[in-house]
């Protein structure tokens, strides 16, 4: 019997802790606060929140857990910079999407076995995966957790 | 045969990628640039660089890899906020410490087997570890990598 389960459990524990931290930080903002910039001329908190929601939504197909729930978030929060478009999803829409996406991800994670985590993710071909087995689902979990921490470090600067 | 090795290799790959990114970012700064604040009234880049160096230096004893190399960094970069003390290590001292600490850590990581990573780290007692085996060395690696990403997200705001 290996220790695979303990590595996966740890990866999920760190993911969950960062998601809860982000959920408290963004979820506690008023509709005015969410429009604050993290530094003068930089991204607004709402943009970061929507950006993280979009990137995490895209983990559903990447990890084989289902279709995206909010593909329309990409044009507002991924492929275009903040303040470049007139209409982006509202504070309430981002809040709802954040909650729904993370509930869906967590439901999927709970069904994954440790051998599922070392399978290839859907953005890598079978051929490329045969050459580099590190391009697996666990690597997506670790890199998305770090991406979240990166933007959390920025988001705290926008508080008060 | 388990897959433990692939989880550890992935954790180390993500660590290394973030360290290289940070090394390039901080290592490329001039002596004036390193004194820039990440946002008005916030930490200076030199403080973040010294802070990360100190926290990573403390991983040496935490992971059983040896004594700290720069315990004197804590008073300047961990236990006191930026701009609260007159004398802190210089740009050159931080640069040298950053390089030495990460070379030493990497040397230690290369000697660790996958079963070493699931042993307790030195800040948790045997008794507490018996109750919660997730307080192991791999959890230190994951959490320190996320801590690094958190401050990297801030540091990029101080560039240009």
Q: At what angle do helices B45-57 and B91-111 cross, to 10 degrees?
A: 30
CB within 8 A of B43, min separation 6: which ones? B37, B51, B81, B82, B154
Residue showing tokens 């019997």: A1
Instruction: Please tell me chain A's helix, strand, coil percentages from 3-state DSSP, rounded to the nearest 5.
Output: 65, 0, 35
Helix (H, G, I), strand (E, B) or coil at A2: coil
A55 has pLDDT over 90: yes
Task: Give B118's contacts in chain A (Cβ within 8 Å).
Answer: 3, 6-7
CA nearest A152: which of A10, A61, A51, A54?
A: A51
Which H or E run contains B54? helix B45-57
pLDDT band, residue A160 (cuts 50/70/90): confident
Split at pLDDT 50, 70, 90, the class of A1 is very low
CB atoms B9 and A136 under 8 Å: no
Q: Report the complex ipTM.
A: 0.95
The arithmetic mean of pLDDT across residues B57-74, rounded, is 98
Provide the pLDDT for residue A85.
85
Average pLDDT, chain A: 95
pTM here is: 0.96
pLDDT in tens, B112-127: 999 999 999 999 999 9
At A66 the pLDDT is 97
Q: Which helix (H) or strand (E) holds A160?
A: none
Cross-chain Cβ contact B3/A8 below 8 Å: no
Domains and CATH numbers, chain A: 19-158 (1.20.120.450)
Nearest to B156 by CA among A39, A70, A100, A59: A39
pLDDT at A136 > cutoff 80: yes
The pLDDT assigned to A96 comes to 98
Q: What is the percent of chain A with per-residue pLDDT over 70, rounded to a whole number?
A: 98
CA angle B140, B142, B145 (to 5 degrees): 105
Cβ of A146 within 8 Å of Cβ of B6? The answer is no
Q: Give the pLDDT of residue A18.
A: 98
Q: What is the pLDDT of residue B4?
A: 76
Residue-level pLDDT at B1: 35
Q: How many other C-beta atoms lie within 10 A of the C-beta of residue A112? A: 18
Q: What are phi and psi for residue B129, nearest 5 degrees?
A: -70, -35
**Closest CA of chain A from B152, distance in Å:** 6
C-alpha R_g of chain B: 17
Percent of chain B at pLDDT > 90 equals 93
- Separation of alpha carbons A106 and B40, rounded Å: 38
pLDDT higher than threshold 70 for residue A2:
no
The residue-averaged pLDDT of A77-91 equals 93
**Residue in A5, A14, A149 to test binding to B, most B beta-carbons within 10 Å:** A149
pLDDT bin (cut points 50, 70, 90) of residue A5 is: confident
Residues in B closer than 8 angstroms to A11, CB to CB, are 7, 142
Measured at the CA of B84, the angle between CA B83 and CA B87, to 5 degrees, comes to: 80
């Amino acid at each position: 019997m290996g220790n695979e389960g303990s590595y996966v459990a740890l990866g999920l524990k760190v993911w969950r802790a960062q998601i809860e931290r982000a959920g408290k930080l963004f979820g506690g903002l008023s509709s005015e606060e969410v429009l604050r910039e993290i530094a003068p001329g930089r991204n607004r908190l709402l943009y970061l929140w929507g950006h993280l929601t979009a990137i995490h939504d895209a983990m559903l197909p990447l990890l084989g857990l289902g279709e995206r729930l909010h593909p329309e978030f990409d044009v507002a929060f991924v492929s275009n910079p903040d303040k470049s478009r007139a209409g982006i999803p509202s504070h309430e829409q981002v809040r709802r999407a954040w909650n729904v996406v993370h509930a869906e991800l967590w439901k999927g994670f709970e069904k994954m076995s440790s051998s599922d985590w070392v399978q290839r993710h859907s953005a890598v071909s079978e051929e490329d995966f045969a050459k580099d087995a590190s391009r697996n689902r666990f690597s997506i979990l670790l890199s998305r957790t770090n991406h979240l921490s990166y933007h959390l470090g920025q988001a705290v600067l926008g508080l008060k």
